[in-house]
């Protein structure tokens, strides 16, 4: 029996001969869920549809996205945060540009700047900058409400639409037709006539089955 495995996208269970391994994520997928990797220039290199979608339409994220997440987390229990430039480098995973160490204008709260949107999107603003000490103070200006995708529930007193109960069909007992009843009655009568027409044997003698009479003769019956 050939070994089988489930495809990571469509979920079909297929033998290993019908599966291929993605060159990027290393998982097994069926042939229908794989495409050629034209970016590498190798005709034998294949990718799954998930990896191909990430290459074609990557998510547009900036390196200051980590600062936005950090300030949102700190905004749950404080209104003022002082961060050193080295701390910000560790949060964003990259070094700040040289203009951030030399000019205070770089820390201006301008929504047109990409780096400024890193703290403005979290509801914070840069209020104090100390270039000599290498630190900046952020102050929370507004609380961001978390997005909720739940449906709004109406209050018990408000009824927008009248309640319409679901229609329920009551099962009805169907009576059999007279034709079926007459056929069954005739069949029972035929069985009863056949039973009465069969000869009765007294004692332990049993008649031979019909297939033995047709296949074997008394002198050639196997022992």
Other beta carbons within 10 angstroms of residue 106's beta carbon come to: 19
User: What is d(CA 188, CA 178) in angstroms, rounded to the nearest whole number?
Assistant: 15
Measured distance CA(117)–CA(109) in Å, rounded = 8
Phi/psi for 135 (5° steps) reads -145, 165
Outline where DSSP puts E strands in 37-155: 46-48, 80-84, 124-130, 135-140
Q: What is the DSSP letter of 216?
A: -
pTM value is 0.43
Residue 1: band (very low, low, confident or very high) from pLDDT cuts 50, 70, 90: very low
Residues 82, 136: contact at Cβ < 8 Å? yes
Q: In this structure, how many other beta carbons lie within 10 angstroms of the beta carbon of residue 137?
A: 15
Q: Which domains are assigned to the chain?
A: 4-56 (3.30.40), 65-140 (no CATH)
Q: How far is the C-alpha of 60 from the C-alpha of 148, rounded, in Å?
A: 23
For 18-34, the pLDDT digits (tens) are 888 888 888 888 888 88
Q: Where are the alpha helices (DSSP H) in 135-209?
A: 178-197
Burial class (CB in 10 A: 0-12, 13-18, 19+), 182: exposed
Residue with tokens 């290199």: 45
Chain segment 185-207, per-residue pLDDT in tens: 899 898 888 888 877 666 666 66
Q: Residue 149: its pLDDT value, please?
A: 46
Per-residue pLDDT of 40-95, as tens digits, reads 667 778 889 888 888 877 665 678 888 998 998 888 888 999 999 999 998 888 88
């Amino acid at each position: 029996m050939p070994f089988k495995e489930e495809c990571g996208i469509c979920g079909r269970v297929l033998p290993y001969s019908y599966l291929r391994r993605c060159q990027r994520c290393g998982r097994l997928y069926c042939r229908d869920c794989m495409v050629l990797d034209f970016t590498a220039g190798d005709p034998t290199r294949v990718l799954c549809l998930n990896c191909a979608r990430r290459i074609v339409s990557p998510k547009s994220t900036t390196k200051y996205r980590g600062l936005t997440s950090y300030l949102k987390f700190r905004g749950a229990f404080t209104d003022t945060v002082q961060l050193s430039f080295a701390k910000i480098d560790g949060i964003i995973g990259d070094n700040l540009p040289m203009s951030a160490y030399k000019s205070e204008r770089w820390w201006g709260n301008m929504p047109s700047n990409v780096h400024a949107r890193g703290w403005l999107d979290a509801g914070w603003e840069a209020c104090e900058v100390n270039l000599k000490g290498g630190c900046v103070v952020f102050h929370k200006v507004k609380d961001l409400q978390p997005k909720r995708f739940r449906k709004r529930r109406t209050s018990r007193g408000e009824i927008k639409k009248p309640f319409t109960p679901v229609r329920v069909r009551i099962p009805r007992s169907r009576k059999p037709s007279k034709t079926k009843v007459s056929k069954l009655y005739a069949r029972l009568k035929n069985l009863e006539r056949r039973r009465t027409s069969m000869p009765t044997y007294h004692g332990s003698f049993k008649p031979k089955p019909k297939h033995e009479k047709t296949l074997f003769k008394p002198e050639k019956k196997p022992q």
